[in-house]
């Protein structure tokens, strides 16, 4: 927990293929394979999304595991906590679908599963050594490293990189 | 006399968030929390689940859940603060005096009871606030056939849905023209209003209850201002809240409706801090002093107070009175910031379909986002909240906000 690995985004490498979205949804299905996952209910959901930006191109957007996670403190049921791996996770059983976490997440990365009225989010794949999105990314736009390995400034690493990608094209 | 380095009055959102913050940073220091409730801290918004027995008391406990993992808080229940001496640095309670080095006042708020109903003493009248209220109501509902709710705010609506799910008839009397008038304007409510009607809750607007008829300590009917009587067995008052400041009379703590604090959550007296529903905070855009009734704010402010109390000077960013997310009758919605726009010069965009609604409010120059209502599709609500709070110039991304297709990547355009 002292120096957990995180998912970082190398925007310049992202081609917008959305393989990460599919592998994420499959990893969070019961069957854990694409063919069965497609027809599963509740529908397995991707916990990250690849968005399009006119100057930066495609941008994978996913939970930043904030140090002082606003979602965790805002939750009115105590459903969100930091687990032993240092990942912020939502306990589906405790979630009542009040969407307070959705309202306070400045990254907009908490999804709403409307079939079950529960919030869902990236959980850093607790059953895997390397998260499914990272492993499946064909261009290595997603990397799983400790903060020290990736950047000295954890909080701004993602933000700085992103604004750089955008500025270069403006 | 018992003495603690950190004494907290009120063991709910603000108090426990503060205690957690102190313990996270300084695990070995002693923190004592006093609460006048018989229960250990619990998630107050979940008491409606106690009413219809979807959850039990252990399901809604705070300690050990979510971020509240610090184990060794000294929490004293059934302990009511009666007065505060700022000279002696002591709080007197029914369980003796408690000394402190630093004190947090986090006694929250209590339901407003309308003047005309104040003196009625009778078993079936509720103003739902505490776990004990919910337990008592749950018990009474076993034999109830009709519940009349006075007030169409969020707490009453949540309670109404909890009760109607039990198969008990519910009538809601709303004095204003529409439900949820604190959170939106009449034109904004139609989707939610339909959901309420579909649920079977009977809503009467523009009427006020002026009395309750009782017999042998039990409720028989509610009397409206047009003299109509509505027979019922339970009355539930939901007319907003007022800060619990009475015990601070003559203490020297400066009070203006609630406890007034500076931008570091300290009161006018050194070493005495306040947070949550009882505290007077401020709107970060207008600077206007406000009190709030929000769990999210109570936690944020309590955590900030915790840091200040241990000497880490931390600025509190203020809040908006309206900052709500919830779901009513299967429809999610958020209402944030400035959303009452009638007779203002704000720039307002609304978009309505059969299944969704949004209202996006900019300042009169159209350069800053100041409020938003999203109903049904609340995707990326957090980005709207962020922009409302930061007060940034949004000119470059305005169209994306109006059309509700903003995502995090676009924010970089503002920051970069
Ligand atoms: C049914 C319901 C649903 C809600 N839903 C939401 C929601 O969805 N979102 C949201 O943001 N907010 C919601 N709220 C509001 C939210 O619960 C409050 O804003 C929040 O609890 C305020 O926290 P607090 O710590 O300031 O005060 P409180 O929760 O009011 O706690 C204060 C505590 O201090 C105790 N106390 C008071 N006086 C004394 C004294 N003299 N001595 C000792 N102890 C004392 C009280 O008994 C109480 O335990 C809801 C409230 C209710 C009732």
Q: Is the pLDDT of residue B155 over 50?
A: yes
Token readout for A43 is 């529908």
Indicate whether A94 pLDDT > 60.
yes
Exposed e or buried b per residue across A38-77, where buried means at least 16 C-beta atoms within 10 angstroms of its C-beta? eeeeeebbbbbbbbebeebbbbbbbbbbeeebbbbbbbbb
What is the structure's pLDDT at B255? 98
Pocket test for ligand 1, best of B249, B295, B300 (most atoms within 8 A of CB): B295
Asked if residue B133 and residue B249 are part of one domain, the reply reads: no
Contact B296 A56 (CB under 8 A): no
Structure tokens at A45: 């959901």
Strands (E) located in B123-168: 125-126, 146-150
A9 touches chain B (CB under 8 A): no
Is there a single domain that holds both residue B210 and residue B132?
A: yes
Gap from B139 CA to chain A (nearest CA, Å): 23
Q: Are residues B341 and B396 in the same domain?
A: yes
Burial profile B71-84: b = 16 or more Cβ within 10 angstroms, e = fewer: eebebbeebebeeb
Q: Give the nearest partner residue to A99 out of B43, B327, B406, using CB atoms.
A: B327
The pLDDT score that the predictor gives to residue A146 is 82
Quick one: pLDDT at residue B376? 96
pLDDT of residue A153: 47
Strand B31-34 to strand B2-9: parallel, antiparallel, or no bridges (unpaired)? parallel
Estimate the crossing angle of helix B408-415 against helix B381-390, to 10 degrees. Answer: 20
Distance B204 CA to ligand 1 centre (A): 28
pLDDT for residue B217:
92
pLDDT at A147 exceeding the cut of 80:
no
**B389: closest CA among A158, A75, A68, A106?**
A106
Q: How much is the pLDDT for A1?
A: 46
Both B127 and B223 in one domain: the answer is yes
For residue A159, the distance in angstroms to the closest alpha carbon of chain B comes to 7
- Structural domain count of chain B: 3
**Which atom number of ligand 1 is nearest to the Cα of residue B15?**
25
Average the pLDDT over B18-25 and give the result.
96
Interface test with B, best of A50, A56, A106, A114 (most B CBs within 10 A): A106
Q: What are phi and psi of B346, to 5 degrees?
A: -70, 155
The answer, yes or no, to whether residue B317 has pLDDT greater than 60, is: yes
Residues B134 and B80 in one domain: no
On whether residue B315 sits in a domain, the answer given is no
> A170 contacts in B (CB within 8 Å)?
416
User: Which band of pLDDT confidence, cut at 50, 70 and 90, is reported for residue A157?
Assistant: low
Q: Where are the domains of chain A?
A: 5-145
Q: Which domain holds residue B383?
A: 330-415
Q: Which residues line ligand 1 (CB under 6 A)?
A: A 76, 98; B 9-15, 34-37, 44-45, 47-48, 80-81, 106-109, 128-129, 155, 158, 244, 247, 276-278, 293-296, 298, 326
Closest CA to B173 of B134, B141, B221, B215: B221
Q: What is the CATH number of the domain that holds B366?
A: 3.30.390.30
Shortest CB distance from B67 goes to which of A51, A81, A170?
A81
- Specify whether B121 is located in the same domain as B87: no
Asked if B383 lies within 8 A of A61 by C-beta distance, the reply is no
Question: Ligand 1: distance of its center to the CA of B287 in Å?
Answer: 24
Dump pLDDT digits (tens) for A10-24: 888 999 999 999 999
Q: B248 and B101 in one domain?
A: yes
pLDDT, averaged across chain A: 88
Does any domain span residue B9? yes
State how far the Cα of B76 lies from the Cα of B98, in Å rounded to an integer.
Answer: 11
- Residues of A with CB below 8 A from B300's CB? 73-74
Rounded mean pLDDT, B256-271: 97
Atom of ligand 1 nearest to the CA of B47: 1
How confident is the model at residue B4, as a pLDDT? 97
How does pLDDT run across B200-244, given as a tens digit for each residue? Answer: 999 999 999 999 999 999 999 999 999 999 999 999 999 999 999
Mark whether B178 and B209 lie in a shared domain: yes
Instruction: Note whether A162 contacts B: Cβ–Cβ < 8 A.
Output: yes
- ipTM, 2 decimals? 0.95
Q: pLDDT category, B415, cuts 50, 70, 90?
A: low
Specify if B358 maps to a domain.
yes
Is the Cβ of A168 closer than 8 Å to some Cβ of chain B?
Answer: no
Q: Does B395 map to a domain?
A: yes
Q: Please answer whether residues B129 and B36 qualify as being in contact, where contact means their C-beta atoms are separated by less than 8 angstroms.
A: no
Q: Are residues B149 and B99 in the same domain?
A: no
**Confidence class for position B360, pLDDT limits 50, 70, 90:** very high
The reply to whether B395 touches chain A by the CB within 8 Å rule is no
φ/ψ bin of A125: left (φ > 0), alpha (ψ from -120 to 50), beta (otherwise): left
Q: Write out pLDDT tens, residues B63-97.
A: 999 999 987 899 999 999 999 999 999 999 999 99
Contact A77 B46 (CB under 8 A): yes
pLDDT the model gives residue A158: 56
pLDDT in tens, B324-356: 999 999 999 999 999 999 999 999 999 999 999
> B209: how many CB neighbours lie within 10 A of its CB?
20
The class level of CATH for A5-145 reads: alpha beta
Distance B174 CA to ligand 1 centre (A): 23
**For the residues B35-64, what does the mean pLDDT come to?**
97
User: Is residue B121 located within the same domain as residue B227?
Assistant: yes
Is B68 within 8 Å of A78 when comparing Cβ atoms? yes
The CATH number covering residue B258 comes to: 3.50.50.60
Q: Is B350 within a domain?
A: yes
Which atom of ligand 1 sits closest to the CA of residue B296?
11
Q: In the Cβ-directed half-sphere of A108, how many Cα atoms lie within 13 Å?
A: 23
Q: How confident is the model at residue A169 (pLDDT cuts 50, 70, 90)?
A: very low
> How many angstroms separate the CA atoms of B182 and B194, rounded?
18
The mean pLDDT value for B24-53 works out to 97
- Taking the Cβ of residue A76 and every Cβ of chain B, the question of whether any pair is shorter than 8 Å is answered with yes
CA dihedral B239, B303, A82, B68 (to 10 degrees): -70
Closest-approach residue (CA) in chain B for A100: B325
Q: How far is CA B110 from CA A44, B13, B94, in A?
A: 43, 14, 20
In a domain, B356, yes or no: yes
What per-residue confidence (pLDDT) applies to A170? 36
What does the pLDDT average to over A63-85? 95
Q: Are residues B411 and B352 in the same domain?
A: yes
- Mean pLDDT across chain B, nearest whole number? 95
d(CA A114, nearest CA chain B) in Å: 9
pLDDT level of residue A160 (50, 70, 90 thresholds): low
Mean pLDDT of B281-294: 91
The rounded radius of gyration (Å) of the Cα atoms in chain B is 22
Q: Is residue B325 part of a domain?
A: no
CB distance A162–B300 less than 8 Å? no
pLDDT of A168 > 70? The answer is no
State which ligand 1 atom lies nearest to the alpha carbon of B134. Answer: 1
Rounded to an integer, what is the distance from CA A41 to the centroid of its chain?
Answer: 21
Same domain, B235 and B342: no
């Amino acid at each position: 927990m002292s120096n957990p690995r995180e998912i970082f985004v190398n925007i310049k490498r992202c081609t917008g293929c959305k393989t990460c979205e599919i592998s994420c949804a499959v990893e969070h299905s019961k069957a854990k394979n694409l063919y069965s996952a497609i027809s599963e209910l509740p529908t397995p959901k991707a916990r990250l999304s690849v968005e399009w930006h006119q100057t930066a191109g495609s941008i994978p957007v996913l939970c930043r595991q904030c140090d002082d996670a606003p979602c965790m403190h805002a939750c009115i049921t105590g459903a969100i906590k930091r687990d032993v791996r240092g990942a912020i996770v939502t306990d589906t059983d405790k979630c009542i679908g009040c969407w307070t976490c959705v309202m306070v997440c400045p990254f907009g990365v908490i999804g709403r599963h409307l079939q079950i009225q529960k919030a869902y989010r990236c959980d850093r794949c607790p059953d895997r050594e390397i998260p499914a999105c990272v492993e499946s990314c064909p261009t290595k736009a997603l990397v799983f490293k400790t903060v020290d390995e990736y950047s000295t400034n954890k909080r701004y690493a993602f933000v700085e990189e992103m604004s750089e990608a955008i500025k270069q094209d403006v | 006399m018992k003495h603690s380095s950190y004494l907290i009055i009120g063991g709910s959102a603000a108090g426990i968030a503060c205690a957690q913050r102190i313990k996270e940073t300084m695990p070995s220091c002693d923190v004592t929390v006093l609460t006048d409730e018989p229960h250990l801290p619990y998630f107050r918004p979940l008491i409606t689940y106690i009413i219809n027995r979807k959850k039990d008391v252990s399901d809604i406990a705070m300690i050990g859940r979510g971020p509240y993992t610090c184990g060794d808080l000294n929490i004293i229940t059934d302990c009511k603060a009666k007065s505060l001496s700022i000279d002696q640095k002591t709080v007197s309670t029914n369980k003796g005096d408690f000394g402190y080095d630093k004190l947090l006042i986090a006694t929250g708020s209590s339901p407003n009871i309308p003047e005309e109903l104040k003196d009625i003493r009778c078993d079936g009248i509720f103003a739902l606030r505490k776990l004990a209220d919910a337990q008592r109501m749950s018990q009474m509902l076993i034999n109830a056939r009709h519940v009349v709710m006075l007030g169409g705010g969020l707490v009453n609506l949540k309670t109404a849905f909890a009760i109607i799910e039990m198969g008990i008839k519910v009538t809601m009397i709303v004095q204003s023209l529409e439900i949820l008038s604190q959170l939106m304007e009449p034109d904004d409510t139609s989707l939610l209003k339909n959901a309420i009607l579909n649920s079977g809750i009977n809503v009467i607007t523009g009427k006020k209850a002026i009395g309750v008829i009782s017999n042998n300590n039990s409720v028989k009917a509610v009397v409206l201002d047009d003299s109509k009587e509505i027979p019922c067995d339970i009355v539930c008052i939901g007319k907003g809240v007022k800060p619990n400041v009475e015990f601070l009379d003559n203490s020297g703590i400066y009070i203006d409706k609630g406890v007034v604090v500076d931008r570091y959550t300290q009161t006018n007296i050194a070493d005495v801090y306040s947070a949550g529903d009882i505290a007077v905070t401020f709107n970060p855009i207008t600077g206007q002093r406000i009190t709030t009734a929000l769990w999210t704010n109570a936690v944020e402010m309590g955590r900030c107070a915790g840091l200040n109390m241990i000497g880490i000077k931390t600025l509190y960013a203020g809040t908006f009175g309206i900052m709500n997310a919830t779901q009513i009758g299967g429809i999610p919605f958020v209402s944030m910031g400035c959303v009452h726009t009638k007779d203002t010069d704000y720039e307002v965009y609304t978009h309505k379909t059969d299944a969704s609604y949004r209202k996006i409010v900019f300042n009169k120059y159209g350069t800053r986002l100041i409020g938003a209502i999203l109903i049904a599709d609340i995707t990326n609500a957090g980005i709207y909240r962020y922009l409302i709070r930061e007060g940034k110039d949004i000119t470059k991304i305005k169209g994306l906000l109006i059309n509700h297709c903003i995502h995090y990547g676009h924010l970089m355009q503002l920051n970069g």
